Amino acid sequence: MSLLTAVVVWLITLAISIPFVTRTWWMPEAITDIGRLIDESFMVTLAITGFIFVVAQVALGYTVWKYGRKSDGSADYTHGNNKLEILWTAAASVIFVGLTLTGFSVWAETRFIDRRSMEPSEGRLMIEVTGQQFVWNMRYPGEDNQFGPTDINLIDDAAGNPVGLDRDGPGGADDIMVPEMRVPVNREVELALKSKDVLHNFFVPELRIKLDTVPGLVGTLRFKADKEGKYEIVCSELCGLGHYKMRSFLYVVSEEEYDAWMEEQASYLF
């Protein structure tokens, strides 16, 4: 029984570890600098915790095996070992707290964004993302780089105005509303995340970042994608019966392609 228990514990440990080593199921490739920093953080954590995981399980199995075979004599009588206890506690504190401290600069870079997000700044592409059951609405400020005003009374899904954009308001005439997101490669993008009904969560796995869209609040995410491609936007906060199909796409394209697309979209307006 002792050997069986130990072997099962070891086999389970091995089975769980293998796919993490062979990367059988793995994160998609990151397409931002921050994404790659997060991956680094992840790899450090994986290495350290993987080591702890294996050592702890092996030690557990070994102890069970070694002291399960004992047929003669009696068990040791000891109340513990304070030196070992303190050593272990100190090591655990340093590792665990150290790990989280190393990740802080990345967190700061990702999330410490000043709140004047609706003021478009030089060179940065602003996109407003509004979650709704069960679609994503993207709004581009258009040529004037200024978002038009919205009015809750103008909201009309059927007429193609899901966010209640006032076309007659200042800067509203050229706003572009699309269900998918298209951004030029290597350009910094700032998203203003909103919701018109319940909580949703804007998540693009390749960007490595997600944020809830909270009705009544404006969340901010920034990213600079450096690899062209088509990526999926998946909702990661339960939002109702269609939660699983609340999906859209992020297209990272070349500047030229982006400009051409913009022009095409603008041409539909008039």
Partner 1 sequence: MTEVQVSEEVAEYTEVHRHPEPKSFIWKYIFSVDHKVIGIQYLMLAVAAVFVGMFLSLLVRLRLVWPEESIPLLGQLFPIGAPDGVMTPEFYLAMLTMHGTIMVFMVLTTAPQGGFGNYFLPIQIGAADMAFPRLNMLSFWSTFVSFMLLLAAFFVEGGAPWSGWTGYPPLSAVPEATVQGFGQDLWVASIAVFCIASLLGALNFIVTTLDLRAKGLTMFRMPLTCWTWFVTAILGLLAFGVLLAAGVLLLMDRNVGTSFFVPGGLVISDKQIDHSGGSPILWQHLFWFFGHPEVYIAILPGMGVTSHILSTFARKTVFGYKAMVYAVLAIGFLGFVVWGHHMFVSGMSPYSAFVFSILTMCIGVPSAIKTFNWIGTMWGGKIRFTSPMLFSIGFVSLFVTGGISGIFLGQPTIDLFFHDTYFVVAHFHLIMGVAAIFGMFAGLIFWFPKMFGRMMDERLNKIHFWMTFVGVYAIFGPMHYLGMMPHPRRYAEITSVDYLEAMGAADLHLFITAAAILTILAQFLFLFNLIKSIFKGKECRDPNPWEATTLEWTISSPPPHDNFAGKVPHVYRGAYDFSLPGTKRDFAMQCNNDEAVFGSRPASSGD
Among 164, 169, 171, 229, which residue interacts with partner 1 (rule: CB under 8 A)? Answer: 164
Structural tokens at position 49: 């915790």
Among 47, 168, 179, 247, which residue interacts with partner 1 (rule: CB under 8 A)? Answer: 247
Q: Are the CB atoms for 46 and 20 separated by under 8 Å?
A: yes
Among 126, 211, 250, 252, which residue interacts with partner 1 (rule: CB under 8 A)? Answer: 211
Binders in 5-44 for partner 1, by CB under 8 A: 5, 8-9, 12, 15-16, 19, 24-28, 37-38, 41-42
Identify which of residues 174 and 206 has a Cβ nearer to partner 1 in the complex. Answer: 206
Q: Residue 98: count other Cβ atoms within 10 Å of its Cβ.
A: 11
Among 33, 36, 45, 120, which residue interacts with partner 1 (rule: CB under 8 A)? Answer: 45
Q: Tell me if 84 contacts partner 1 by CB under 8 A.
A: yes
Binders in 225-244 for partner 1, by CB under 8 A: 232, 234-244
Q: Are the CB atoms for 127 and 192 separated by under 8 Å?
A: yes
Identify which of residues 77 and 270 has a Cβ nearer to partner 1 in the complex. Answer: 77
CB of 119 to partner 1, least distance (A): 20
Identify which of residues 60 and 262 has a Cβ nearer to partner 1 in the complex. Answer: 60
Q: Residue 128: count other Cβ atoms within 10 Å of its Cβ.
A: 23
Residue whose structure tokens are 């478009």: 120
* CA distances for 172 relative to 150, 154, 168, 183, 243, angstroms: 9, 13, 6, 21, 31
Among 141, 172, 184, 219, which residue interacts with partner 1 (rule: CB under 8 A)? Answer: 219
Identify which of residues 174 and 250 has a Cβ nearer to partner 1 in the complex. Answer: 250
Question: Dihedral through CA 154, CA 210, CA 227, CA 267, nearest 10?
Answer: 0
Among 29, 119, 157, 180, which residue interacts with partner 1 (rule: CB under 8 A)? Answer: 157
CB of 234 to partner 1, least distance (A): 6
Task: Say how many CA atoms lie within 13 Å of 70 toward its Cβ.
Answer: 10
Question: Containing H/E element for 191?
Answer: strand 189-195
CB-count exposure of residue 76 (10 Å: 0-12, 13-18, 19+): exposed
Identify which of residues 174 and 233 has a Cβ nearer to partner 1 in the complex. Answer: 233
Q: Tell me if 149 contacts partner 1 by CB under 8 A.
A: no
- Which ranges of the chain would DSSP assign to H, the alpha helix? 2-22, 33-68, 82-102, 104-111, 255-267
Among 33, 166, 169, 203, which residue interacts with partner 1 (rule: CB under 8 A)? Answer: 203
CB of 240 to partner 1, least distance (A): 6
| Residue type, position 72, single letter | D
Cα 148 from Cα 172, distance rounded (Å): 3
Binders in 116-145 for partner 1, by CB under 8 A: 132-133
Q: Tell me if 63 contacts partner 1 by CB under 8 A.
A: yes
Q: Tell me if 199 contacts partner 1 by CB under 8 A.
A: yes
Question: Containing H/E element for 11?
Answer: helix 2-22
Q: Tell me if 179 contacts partner 1 by CB under 8 A.
A: no
